[in-house]
């Protein structure tokens, strides 16, 4: 693999050969991908990316995907970075952007991570793709496996939102609903991964999977004219996307492709599942597991695999962390829709609601350039807002009947 040196343990620093393993054989620390940045800087220029496809694959040189590896591309990434002046006014900010990842092929940012993981799975010769999912990963794994002609198994908590179940099932996957929490599903899947040797994208392929989220940072920087924002707000479930957005900006600085400086990284969680925010606010050094209970099911991971790393990333960047109640999450979804015309799922509601709290508390400076990462689509969780939107006014097909309804019009 071109710029990839191998796997390296984040705890003890030991190297390991590329393989579908995610923990250090010596100390059980988390394995990450190590790159040859010097070689990268010598052979790639940032101008080269513009000539690539209008997808995340334009950044292939910065991903753990070998030159010969097959790419299963559904058209993921290069999603819009939208200036959000209406929402900015509502939050008291001046330079606010939305990275709208709700418009990916399976309607969440998970297509980025699955795209990288399935390439690794195919390169390692794995025959079955699988995942433990809080909902969005299920659809993405099922869709990518369908495109690759690969069998897939998708494990979900049995209480998942029906649209998310449908959105995975349509691709023809083996869908397994487990009577338990996501954390229990995940534990079961670790055992299945060992027993069956399948490629679980977010378990034994986690080192590869998580690298896909770096493309959120690369795209943001390129779309801002090769500079990083001053401050970003990212949702946190397992803690992978937040830490990899930070890593992405760090790599671009190390390669000299964006100006030196720092990007403050702030985290957003639901109050009903806020292990990282709780640790941040209490000054704890480690994240303690919690029992999840929130409408933001895609963020309901009580025992986040990258929780400590997310906590460190936030602190080292000078960022902050917040949490939002179920009511605030719904209000956040409504606010984004009514100000910017973007319908996001509950996870996006968490991000907007936490950004609102961070701005109100002065943790976001009004003059900072801020990017909110909107990671999933509102049609995934319609039931939480169905009761709060105004119903259609039913009328007879006459001008008179319509004129009569005008008195109750929305301004």
Ligand X SMILES: *Cc1c(COP(=O)(O)O)cnc(C)c1O
Give the interface with ligand X as residue ranges (CB under 6 A): 108, 110, 136, 235-241, 298-299, 345, 347, 375-376
175: which residues sit within 8 A by CB, 6+ positions away? 138, 142, 154, 156, 165, 168, 169
Site for Zn ion in 26-55 (CB under 5 A): 26-27, 29
CB of 95: closest distance to ligand X in angstroms? 23
The site partner of 136 among Zn ion, ligand X, none (C-beta below 5 to 8 Å per kind) is ligand X
The site partner of 9 among ligand X, Zn ion, none (C-beta below 5 to 8 Å per kind) is Zn ion
Q: How far apart are CA 170 and CA 153, in angstroms?
A: 13
The site partner of 175 among Zn ion, ligand X, none (C-beta below 5 to 8 Å per kind) is none
The site partner of 12 among ligand X, Zn ion, none (C-beta below 5 to 8 Å per kind) is Zn ion
Q: Which is nearer to ligand X, 178 or 237 (CB)?
A: 237
The one segment of 8-16, 223-231, 268-276, 329-337 that binds Zn ion by CB under 5 A: 8-16
Using CB positions, name the residue nearest to ligand X.
Answer: 376
CB of 371: closest distance to ligand X in angstroms? 15
At 6 the three-state DSSP class reads strand
The site partner of 116 among ligand X, Zn ion, none (C-beta below 5 to 8 Å per kind) is none
CB of 33: closest distance to Zn ion in angstroms? 15
The site partner of 11 among ligand X, Zn ion, none (C-beta below 5 to 8 Å per kind) is Zn ion
Residue 84 is encoded by which pair of tokens? 């959000």
DSSP state letter for 81 = E
Q: Which is nearer to Zn ion, 26 or 127 (CB)?
A: 26
CB of 398: closest distance to ligand X in angstroms? 44
CB of 350: closest distance to ligand X in angstroms? 8
- 358: nearest Cα among 327, 314, 388: 314
Contacting Zn ion (CB under 5 A), which of 11, 316, 338, 404?
A: 11
280: which residues sit within 8 A by CB, 6+ positions away? 267, 311, 314, 315, 320, 321
Please report which residue ranges of 153-256 form alpha helices under DSSP H. Answer: 162-169, 182-196, 206-211, 214-223, 240-254
Site for Zn ion in 67-96 (CB under 5 A): none
- 231: nearest Cα among 328, 349, 350, 372: 372
Neighbour-count burial for 326-340, b at 16+ CB within 10 Å, e otherwise: bebbbbbbbbbbebb
Question: Mind giving me the DSSP string for 383-401?
Answer: GGTTTTSPPPPP--SSHHH
The site partner of 207 among Zn ion, ligand X, none (C-beta below 5 to 8 Å per kind) is none
Q: Which residues contact Zn ion by CB under 5 A? A: 9, 11-12, 14, 24, 26-27, 29
């Amino acid at each position: 693999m071109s710029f990839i040196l191998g796997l390296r343990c984040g705890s003890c620093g030991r190297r390991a050969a590329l393989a579908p393993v995610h923990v250090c054989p010596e100390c059980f620390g988390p394995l990450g991908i190590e790159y040859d940045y010097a070689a990268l800087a010598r052979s790639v220029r940032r101008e080269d990316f513009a000539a690539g496809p209008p997808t995340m694959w334009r950044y292939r040189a910065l991903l753990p995907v070998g030159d010969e590896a097959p790419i299963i591309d559904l058209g993921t990434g290069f999603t819009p970075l939208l200036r959000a002046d209406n929402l900015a006014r509502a939050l008291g900010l001046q330079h606010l952007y939305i990275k709208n990842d709700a418009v990916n092929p399976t309607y969440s940012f998970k297509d980025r991570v699955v795209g990288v993981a399935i390439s690794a799975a195919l390169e390692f010769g794995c025959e079955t793709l699988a995942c433990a999912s809080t909902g969005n990963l299920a659809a993405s794994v099922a869709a990518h496996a369908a495109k690759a002609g690969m069998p897939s198994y998708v494990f979900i908590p049995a209480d998942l939102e029906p649209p998310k179940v449908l959105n995975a099932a349509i691709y023809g996957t083996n869908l397994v609903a487990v009577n338990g929490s996501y954390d229990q599903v995940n534990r079961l899947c670790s055992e299945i991964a060992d027993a069956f040797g399948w490629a679980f994208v977010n378990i034994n392929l986690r080192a590869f999977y998580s690298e896909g989220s770096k493309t959120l940072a690369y795209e943001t920087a390129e779309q801002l004219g090769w500079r990083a924002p001053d401050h970003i707000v990212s949702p946190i479930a397992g803690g992978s996307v937040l830490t990899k957005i930070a890593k992405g900006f760090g790599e671009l600085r190390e390669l000299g492709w964006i100006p030196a400086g720092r990007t403050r990284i702030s985290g957003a969680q639901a109050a009903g599942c806020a292990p990282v925010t709780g640790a941040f606010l209490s000054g704890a050094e480690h994240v303690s597991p919690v029992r999840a209970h929130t409408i933001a099911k895609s963020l309901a991971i009580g025992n986040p695999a990258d929780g400590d790393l997310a906590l460190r990333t936030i602190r080292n960047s000078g960022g902050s962390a917040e949490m939002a109640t179920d009511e605030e999450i719904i209000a956040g979804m409504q606010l984004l829709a009514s100000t910017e015309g973007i319908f996001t799922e509950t996870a996006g509601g968490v991000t907007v609601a936490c950004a609102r709290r961070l701005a109100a508390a002065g943790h976001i400076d009004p003059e900072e350039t801020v990017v909110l990462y909107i990671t999933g689509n509102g049609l995934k969780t319609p039931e939480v807002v169905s009761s709060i939107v105004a119903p259609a006014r039913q009328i007879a097909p006459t001008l008179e009947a319509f004129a009569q309804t005008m008195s109750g019009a929305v301004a």
